[in-house]
């Protein structure tokens, strides 16, 4: 039976058809990465490192650390139907609490409060529900990180034997720093530009809001099992009429057939 590798981020906006086609036929739309967005993300992560009180003064004592901004693999795990899978991804931040537990934090550049007379509370609630599986995915990943040296060597980007060995050693050191034993907090930090600081240069004040997300691993495993039901089916689900990617491929196929 195929062992699927799942990214936590793909659990937030699930299109059944696209998920099936992507995972089973390796067909994904070409994504364009905006450098300015990546730069902004890096600045956000850097700002919140250190004392967790930067995120919210009501969070218990702890330190926010960077999970190295690189993707890690989980060990082989099982869903509720004993089907095998791995998780692969990179989270935004991990909190190491003084009581020995950990927290998973994700930063989202998004509107989160009333602005110019418009209320974003319902939209915020929707986003929290969408991101909830993603946070649980990172929790499962960092509590089950793959440490098998042979596996790490096979997935190293290094080419020469000495470089591969060194790469594996470095990866194991990093894993030791970011491994979590018990999750006691999941949270989202919504960040948005508030106002132009001055007119002499483009200096902007950002405001942010921390929102705790309920940790419910049992329910998450149900969500994950349902997702794997889709991937393991014998035929793909029908294209979703509200999915832009589905509509793109359907249109492209129609145009190809007309030629």
* Digit-coded pLDDT (tens) for 59-78: 999 999 999 999 999 999 99
Is the pLDDT score of 116 beyond 70? Answer: no
Among 21-35, 150-164, 197-211, the least confident range: 21-35
pLDDT digits (tens, 9 = 90+) for 11-45: 988 899 999 999 999 987 765 555 667 888 899 99
Q: Quick one: what percent of the chain has pLDDT higher than 90?
A: 70
pLDDT of residue 188: 97
Q: How far apart are CA 151 and CA 99, in angstroms?
A: 32
Spell out the residues 6+ positions from residue 239 whose beta carbon is closer than 8 angstroms to its own.
17, 246, 247, 249, 250
Task: Given CATH 3.30.2000, say whether it is the number of domain 4-143+180-258.
Answer: no
pLDDT, averaged across the chain = 90
- Which of 211, 73, 214, 49 shows the shortest CA–CA distance to 138? 73
- CB neighbour list of residue 200: distance below 8 Å, 6 or more residues apart: none
Instruction: Summarize the confidence of residues 118-147 as an average pLDDT.
Output: 91
Q: What letters, b where the CB count within 10 A reaches 16 and e where it falls short, cover 11-21?
A: bbebbbbbbbb
DSSP for 92-145, please give it: SEEEEETTS-EEEEEEEE---S-BTTB--HHHHHHHHHHHHHHHHHHHHHHTSB
Quick one: pLDDT at residue 124?
85
Would the pTM count as exceeding 0.85? yes
Section 152-171 average pLDDT: 97
């Amino acid at each position: 039976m195929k062992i699927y590798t799942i990214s936590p981020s793909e659990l937030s906006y699930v299109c059944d058809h696209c998920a099936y086609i992507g995972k089973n036929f390796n067909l994904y739309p070409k994504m364009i990465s905006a450098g300015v967005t990546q730069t902004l993300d890096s600045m956000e992560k850097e700002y919140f490192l250190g004392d967790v009180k930067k995120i919210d003064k009501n969070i218990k004592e702890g330190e926010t650390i960077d999970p190295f901004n690189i993707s890690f693999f989980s060990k082989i795990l099982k869903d509720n139907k004993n089907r095998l899978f791995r998780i692969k991804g990179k989270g935004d931040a991990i909190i190491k609490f003084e009581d020995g537990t950990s927290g998973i934090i994700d930063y989202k550049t998004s509107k989160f409060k009333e602005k110019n007379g418009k209320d974003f509370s319902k939209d915020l609630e929707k986003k929290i529900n969408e991101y909830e599986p993603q946070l649980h995915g990172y929790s499962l990943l960092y509590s089950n990180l793959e440490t098998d040296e042979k596996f790490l060597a096979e997935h190293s980007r290094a080419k020469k034997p000495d470089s591969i060995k060194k790469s594996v050693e470095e990866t194991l050191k990093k894993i030791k720093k970011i491994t979590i034993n018990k999750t006691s907090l999941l949270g989202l930090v919504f960040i948005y530009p508030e106002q132009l600081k001055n007119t002499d240069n483009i200096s902007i004040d950002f405001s942010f809001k921390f929102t705790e997300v309920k940790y419910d691993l049992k329910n998450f495993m149900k969500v994950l099992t349902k997702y794997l039901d889709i991937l393991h089916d014998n035929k793909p689900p029908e294209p979703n009429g509200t999915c832009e990617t589905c509509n793109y491929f359907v249109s492209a196929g129609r145009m190809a057939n007309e030629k």
